[in-house]
Amino acid sequence: MFELSSEVRTADDDVAAALAYARSVAGRSHVAEDLAMHWALAHPEAARLAAARPGPALTWRLTDLAVADAPSEDLLEALGAWERTAAWVAAEQARVLQELQRRVAASTWAQKGLREDVAGTLAVSGRAAGILCDRARELTAAPEVHDALREGVLSVRKADVLLRDTGSLPASEARRVHDALIAQAPLLTAPQLGAAARRAVLELDPHAAEARHRQAREERCVVLEPAADCMATIRAYLPATDAVRAMRALDAVAAAAAPEDPRGIDARRADALVDVLAAVLDAGVSVQATSPGRRRRRTPRLNLTISTDALAGATSTAGFLDGYGPVLPSLARRLAHEAAWHFVRTDPATGEALEQPGSRYRPPEALRSAIIARDVTCTFPGCRVSAQVCDLDHTVPFDDTREAAEQTRRSNLTALCRHHHRLKTHGRWTPSRDPDSGVVVWTSPGGKPYTRDPVEAPGEPDRRLARREADQGGGDVGAGHQGAGRDGDVGDDRSSLTGADPPDPAPF
């Protein structure tokens, strides 16, 4: 990262900051690096803030920033710089706490007393003090995470997620996972980072992961927790496949509501849960009883993407359970004969589902499955809406005068949730897929690129590693082109679950 100094800024400084910035945000996409460089040279102060290391110099500069007069580009990067500064503060605070912990390490009672001292000094609850103490202790065993927090590469939340989701591993193995994931962390949201960590944990030692899963299954439970205002929470701790199965069933009942139903999706799911269970009590009453105006129910589809080798038990590559994330391949094997589950089988050599180009505007099911398996979620950076309920957008808009098979194909279809589909159509945000790296680059109306790395398909770990190494070697990448004009989407009516979507962008 770039060290800010209080000296007078020169043009060379601006170029250095632009380069540092472009390299830090572009990931493995050369297209994105060019866009980022262009943006950074147009907004040098913003780029300097974006690439600056957290520390006293940056804190001083941020405090000095004339907020009312600064351009919006600078303010956005100041926001990011304060976030990194917060991470640096947390890392330094943990360093102090680690020293205090070291001084009481010999006595259990002194350690407990330290927590009370922390709680009293900060005027926080014992639980809140415990969180600080636990984080400091975990960071002692995870120096790479502590360094990344100090550098602002990890936010406090991401550091916590990484420590939590690798907490079941022995320290040395956890450090290997930390090392592999920290570099990707700036481009991932905390939930995405958590999913990547859980996947790495599953694949690092599959036997240990199986044993932990078997033990955790034994603890499955449903509990009722009273809440204020005469409400209550029912919490179920379930194997991931059962949890997703239950949620899909609730979604299906909720989606059967009449179009004019004023209830939101959360309320409809909650009512569906009660309806289903009440029907069990009221023997003989079917929850499928149709009332006028109800939509025809779609059978919920349960999707699990897994390589053919892993499904056959030949490898332990994690599968991907739609609506949840990475799962042990043994869970997939257990479900292989159940009709409700749709398996997207991927080629173990390439990690990709097979493609069949469409003969029409709407992609055939095999192509649809291939896009869903490739994109996994909406392709806006950080968006976690399942590709299963996304629109499949023609990146270069569908043109009736051209051959359909040339357009309704894998390279021109991208999963977009309704919100981000509308952002593209109305908000002048432009996505393009870098055909070589698979990185989707979204360019804001101001020209700033945001990248979304391809989600690792459940291919073979060795191949993914090889690809990373190849990426580091570099190479030319052609730019995907994004045209304006008529926008095409292939909607899935399950996306209407999200409630009051206006009827744009036009479906055809």
- Min. distance of Cβ 419 from Zn ion in angstroms? 6
Query: Is 53 or 420 the residue whose CB approaches Zn ion more closely?
Result: 420
**In a 10 Å sphere around its CB, with 0-12 CB exposed, 13-18 middle and 19+ buried, how is residue 201 labelled?**
buried
* Residues in contact with 202: Cβ distance below 8 Å, sequence separation at least 6, in sequence order: 209, 316, 318, 326, 327, 328
Q: Which two tokens stand for residue 256?
A: 């059967």
Query: Is 241 or 377 the residue whose CB approaches Zn ion more closely?
Result: 377
- Min. distance of Cβ 503 from Zn ion in angstroms? 18
Packed helices 171-182 and 190-204: angle between N→C axes, nearest 10 degrees: 130
Q: Which two tokens stand for residue 191?
A: 């939930």
Query: Is 139 or 385 the residue whose CB approaches Zn ion more closely?
Result: 385
If DSSP codes are grouped into helix, strand and coil, which group holds residue 244? helix
What angle (nearest 5°) sits at the alpha carbon of residue 166, between those of residues 165 and 169? Answer: 140
Query: Is 189 or 356 the residue whose CB approaches Zn ion more closely?
Result: 189
- Min. distance of Cβ 317 from Zn ion in angstroms? 27
- Min. distance of Cβ 386 from Zn ion in angstroms? 10
Q: Which two tokens stand for residue 61?
A: 């500069």
- Min. distance of Cβ 230 from Zn ion in angstroms? 36
The Cα 115–Cα 111 span in angstroms is 7
Query: Is 304 or 376 the residue whose CB approaches Zn ion more closely?
Result: 376
The residues binding Zn ion (CB under 5 A) are: 378, 380, 383, 385, 417, 420
The Cα 296–Cα 11 span in angstroms is 64
Query: Is 82 or 380 the residue whose CB approaches Zn ion more closely?
Result: 380
The Cα 454–Cα 452 span in angstroms is 6
The Cα 193–Cα 206 span in angstroms is 20
- Strand-pair partners of 327: 319
Neighbour tally for 160: CB within 10 Å: 20
Burial profile 353-372: b = 16 or more Cβ within 10 angstroms, e = fewer: bebbbbeebbbeeebbbbbb
The Cα 213–Cα 233 span in angstroms is 25
What letter represents residue 408's amino acid? Answer: T
Handedness of CA 375, 380, 382, 385 (dihedral sign): negative
- Min. distance of Cβ 382 from Zn ion in angstroms? 8
**In a 10 Å sphere around its CB, with 0-12 CB exposed, 13-18 middle and 19+ buried, how is residue 74 labelled?**
buried
Q: Which two tokens stand for residue 65?
A: 């920033």
- Phi/psi of residue 381, nearest 5 degrees: -55, 125
- Min. distance of Cβ 371 from Zn ion in angstroms? 15
- Min. distance of Cβ 489 from Zn ion in angstroms? 13
The Cα 409–Cα 429 span in angstroms is 22
Query: Is 164 or 494 the residue whose CB approaches Zn ion more closely?
Result: 494
- Min. distance of Cβ 385 from Zn ion in angstroms? 5
Query: Is 254 or 417 the residue whose CB approaches Zn ion more closely?
Result: 417
Query: Is 409 or 420 the residue whose CB approaches Zn ion more closely?
Result: 420
The Cα 457–Cα 320 span in angstroms is 8
Nearest CA among 447, 448, 457 for reference residue 410: 457
Give the DSSP H/E element, type plus range, for residue 234. Answer: strand 231-237
- Min. distance of Cβ 329 from Zn ion in angstroms? 28
Query: Is 380 or 398 the residue whose CB approaches Zn ion more closely?
Result: 380
Query: Is 32 or 417 the residue whose CB approaches Zn ion more closely?
Result: 417
Query: Is 90 or 390 the residue whose CB approaches Zn ion more closely?
Result: 390
- Min. distance of Cβ 420 from Zn ion in angstroms? 4
- Min. distance of Cβ 296 from Zn ion in angstroms? 27
The Cα 213–Cα 300 span in angstroms is 26
3-state secondary structure 112-138: HHHHHHHHHHHCCCHHHHHHHHHHHHH
Query: Is 115 or 422 the residue whose CB approaches Zn ion more closely?
Result: 422
